[in-house]
């Protein structure tokens, strides 16, 4: 049975989760990926070689179409909201305490505070707000089945975060 383990952002957390859960593979939003039995670091060359070997039996577009018909289309995007480093922790605490019951007209079904605040919504979409580790900004990420929905989520996220900064 397949399962997904969510980690904080950063490949060191992915590698740790791979070890702890005896995972076959692990990856992150920035494209970093590794497999069991290989080094516990991102290895783009290995991934490209493995992908080429797997996909050599059929066209990439055909496989992509097959995956989309099985799982539906997925769109993602992100934006940033300026936030002084000294305020990031307070913003996350206030966000966790005041997160609305619905975001962009969809009920919040679950909140995951593992890496910032991740709101899982009733339609399967999600919104994440987390502090940037490298800049004085809050990052807002969204995933949904359409670009329009992602844009609505990002705008809602911006409207939730800006008053807290």
Instruction: Please compute the mean of the pLDDT values over residues 59-81 and round it to a whole number.
Output: 81
Third-level CATH fold of 73-164: TATA-Binding Protein (3.30.310)
CATH of 11-70, one of 2.30.30.90, 1.20.140.10, 3.40.120.10, 3.40.50.12780: 3.40.120.10
**Do 75 and 145 contact (CB within 8 A), yes or no?**
yes
Tell me, yes or no, if the pTM score tops 0.75: no
Question: Residues 113-126: pLDDT tens digits?
Answer: 988 999 999 999 99
β partners of residue 81: 138
Domain assignments of the chain as residue spans, ordered by start: 11-70, 73-164
Cα–Cα distance measured from residue 123 to residue 144, given in angstroms and rounded to the nearest whole number? 8
* pLDDT tier, 71 (very low <50, low <70, confident <90, very high otherwise): confident
Task: Give the single-character DSSP code of 29.
Answer: T
């Amino acid at each position: 049975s397949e399962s997904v383990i969510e980690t904080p952002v950063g490949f060191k957390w992915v590698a740790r989760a791979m070890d702890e859960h005896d995972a076959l593979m692990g990856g992150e939003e920035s494209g970093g990926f590794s497999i069991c039995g290989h080094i516990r670091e991102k290895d783009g060359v290995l991934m490209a070689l493995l992908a080429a070997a797997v996909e050599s039996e059929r066209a990439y577009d055909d496989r992509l179409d097959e995956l989309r018909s099985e799982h539906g289309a997925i769109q993602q995007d992100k934006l940033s909201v300026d936030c002084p480093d000294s305020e990031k922790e307070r913003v996350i605490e206030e966000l966790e305490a005041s997160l609305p019951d619905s975001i962009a007209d969809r009920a919040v079904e679950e909140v995951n505070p593992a890496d910032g605040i991740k709101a899982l919504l009733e339609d399967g979409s999600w919104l994440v707000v987390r502090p940037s580790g490298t800049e004085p900004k809050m990052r807002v990420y969204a995933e949904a089945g359409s670009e329009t929905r992602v844009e609505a989520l990002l705008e809602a996220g911006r409207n939730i975060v800006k008053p807290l900064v």
